[in-house]
Each structure stands twice: as structure tokens, then as C-alpha cells.
Amino acid sequence: MLKHISIQATLILSLIMSTHLGAFAQKNKLEGLWYNEEKTAKIEIYKATDGKYWGKIVWLKEPLRNGVPKTDDKNPNPALRNTPTMGLVLLRHFEIDGDNGYNNGEIYDPKNGKTYSCKITYKGDKLDVRGYIGISLIGRTTVWERTQ
């Protein structure tokens, strides 16, 4: 009887430990805070519930315009033009492609209200973020830098 209780206790303890250690799973190298090229915004890249990587604005060098929070005033949808820029999702749907690539995503540019296909290449403390229309040869690359 004592042996049976000991086995049960060991199994329960093992289950608790494995669940607890899973909470400390290592994040993907893409996740974290990144400055945009101009260092006017910090973007937090995170793994969303869909298992893909998304990114949102979490800091702005100049968060106000005329004393009020900046909004997404260039959005093509008039109903979204009052959405605050702070917290705005810029990156969506990125999937891991090899050791340092992230593809099949899109990037929204609040400066012009347009959304582009996008791929990201991880380069240590820098990211090459390439937005494009159609094929990636026709596009523009900006370099983001890791920050705290």
C-alpha cells in the first residue's frame, strides 16, 4: 500500500514539475522589443494565439499630436481612423522559415495607411524587415534594432 502511494506521489510531483518548467519555455529569438529604423517607435513582437508572430507599437517618441494621442488617421477604413497609434498592430501572421527567416506575413504602414506583404530576416540584434507588393524584388527593406 505504501509503495502504491509513493508511486502516485512521484507521478503527481513529476506532472507538477513538467507543467511548471514548461512555463519557462524559451522564447523565439524574434520575440521582444525592436526600434523601427528611425527610432521613433518600439514594436513588441510576440507569438500570438494562432502560433504566428505579430507585432504592435508599445512606445512612441512623440505619442501626442496637438496635445492628444496620435491616431491611425491614414487608415483606408474611415471607421478605424480614430484608433490610437499606441497599441496598433503593424505585423501579422509571420511564420518561421528556416533558422533566421520569417515569411507569409504582412506589415501595415500607418504613415500611408497601406498594408504590404512582408518577410523578416533575423540578424542578431537587427532585423531586415522587407515590405513588398507581389514579389519581394519589388519592395523596400528597413532595419530594426533590438531594444529594451
CATH number at residue 47: 2.40.128.520
pLDDT of 26 higher than 70: no
In a domain? residue 50: yes
In a domain? residue 4: no
Determine the average pLDDT of the residues in 9-37.
Answer: 63
Cross-strand partners of 102 = 96, 120
Domain tally for the chain? 1
Provide the mean pLDDT of the chain.
Answer: 88
Three-class SS state of 125: coil
Taking the CA atoms of residue 47, residue 53, residue 59 and residue 65 in that order, the dihedral angle to the nearest 10 degrees is -130
Domain range for 140 is 27-147
Phi then psi dihedrals of residue 137, to 5 deg: -65, -25
In a domain? residue 43: yes
In a domain? residue 54: yes
User: Taking the model in full, what pTM does it have?
Assistant: 0.81
In a domain? residue 16: no
pLDDT in tens, 81-99: 999 999 999 999 999 999 9
